[in-house]
Each structure stands twice: as structure tokens, then as C-alpha cells.
Amino acid sequence: MRIVCIGGGPAGLYFALLMKKQNPAHEITVLERNRPDDTFGWGVVFSDQTLGNLEKADYPTYDQIRQAFH
């Protein structure tokens, strides 16, 4: 499947990651209008429910996110 994700923010990148993990044969392109060093949208706070959903969907990435919390 060929997938184009418009927006390279947290949701767009995580969607792309999950789709690739679901099927490595997927061809995924993420389009982002900001420059590579821009950090808009990354001041993210996750609710307990969201963290639970991340944990169920993809434990290794969830674990990395939890370890990186400040």
C-alpha cells in the first residue's frame, strides 16, 4: 500500500511508524512544510488514556517515550 501522510508532527510521524510496523511493505511518505530543525508541536502532554493506547499499539516506542519524559 502506498500512503502519503500530510504533516510530520507527533501524530503524523507516529501514524507512519505504526503503519510501517503493521506491514513493512507499505510505502510511506511523510510531507512536512517546516524545516528539519523546527520544533513546532513537540511540547506534547499525554493523558493516561493516551499513554495506555500507545502502550497497547506499540510497546517499544511507548517505552522509549516514557523514558524520555522530563
Measure the CA–CA gap between 58 and 46, rounded to whole angstroms. Answer: 15
Grid cell for residue 65: 517515550
Give strand pairing partners of 31: 6
Which pLDDT value is given to residue 40? 67
Over residues 8-45, the pLDDT tens digits come to 888 899 999 999 999 999 999 999 998 877 776 666 77
Measure the CA–CA gap between 29 and 35, rounded to whole angstroms. Answer: 16
**Cell 499513554, located at residue:** 51
**pTM of the predicted model as reported, rounded to 2 decimal places:** 0.66
pLDDT above 70: residue 54: yes
The torsion defined by the Cα of 68, 23, 40 and 38, in degrees rounded to 10, comes to 90
Which pLDDT value is given to residue 69? 80
Q: For 35, what's the count of Cα atoms within 13 Å in the CB-facing half-sphere?
A: 2
Which pLDDT value is given to residue 45? 79
